[in-house]
Amino acid sequence: MTNKRRHVLALGVIGAVFVASASAFAISRAQPSSVSPLVRLGPPRVAMPGSIDAMRELPPLASVDDRLTSTMLRRSVDKLGGDASAARSSLRLLRADLGTTHASIYAFVPADGAVCIVLSSRQGGCFESARAATPSVYPILSPGGPGYAGYSDDVPAAVAGVVGDDVASLALVDGDRMSAIGIKNNAFFQELDEPPMAGFSVDLRVSYADGSTKTITLRQGPATLTHP
C-alpha cells in the first residue's frame, strides 16, 4: 500500500492560503494587510498579484504530467471562483530538476488577484494578494522525510516559491548569519537542514529593489503519513 503524505502548514504571514499535498487541501486565513498591484495577462485575461515577468515571458504549457499540479488547477478554480480555461492557459513552468526529488516549480492564476505555486509531487499553495502581509512574496514549505515515491526516507525539507519583479534578493536567516537563495524566472528553491518530520520555522529576509527589507517567518507543523 502506497504511503501518502498529509501536510498542514501554518503560514501566518501570507493571508488567504490554500495549502495542498497530493492527499489534502486546507485553508488558512489572516487579517488583510497591504495589497499588491495587479498586472494583466492575456488573452484570456486574468490578474496576477504583483509584476512577475516570467509569467508573461515564458511560454504556456501544452500539458502537465504532475498530478498535484493538475489537482490544484481544478480545485483552486472551484474554491476561488475562477475560470478553468483561463487558469489552464496561465500555467507556466518556472524551474525544473530541483533538489533531491528533482522537483519542478509551476505557477498559475486561478482567479483574478490570486496566484498558485506548486512544487511538483511535494507541496502547493494559493495566495490572494488582497490578504498578503508580505507583498510580492509567495512561499511554500515542504516537509521532508519518508513518503515520496521513488526516494529514500531522508528527503530534505525545502522552501520554495515565487517573488515579484520588485524583489531584489532573498536570504535564509539563522541568527546573525544569512545565506542567499538564488532566484531564477521569479522562482526560488532551497533545501533545508531541518528535522523532516518535526515542526520547524524558517526566517526569510526579503530585500526589495527600492532598498527596503522585510523578514518573514514560515512555520511548518509536524508532518504525518496517511494510508488512504
Half-sphere exposure (Cβ direction) of 104: Cα atoms closer than 13 Å:
13
Threshold 0.85, pTM exceeds? no
pLDDT digits (tens, 9 = 90+) for 94-113: 999 999 999 999 999 998 88
Q: Residue type for 159, please?
A: V
Q: How far does Cα 177 stand from its chain's mean position?
A: 24
Q: Structural domain tally of the chain?
A: 1
Alpha-carbon distance values, 67 to 37, 56, 120, 135, 214 (Å):
31, 24, 8, 29, 34
SS3 131: helix
For residue 134, what pLDDT is reported?
A: 78
Q: Which domain holds residue 216?
A: 4-226
Alpha carbon 27 to its chain centroid, in Å, reads: 14
Q: What is the pLDDT of residues 32-82, one digit of tens each?
A: 222 233 333 333 333 444 589 999 999 999 888 888 999 999 999 988 889
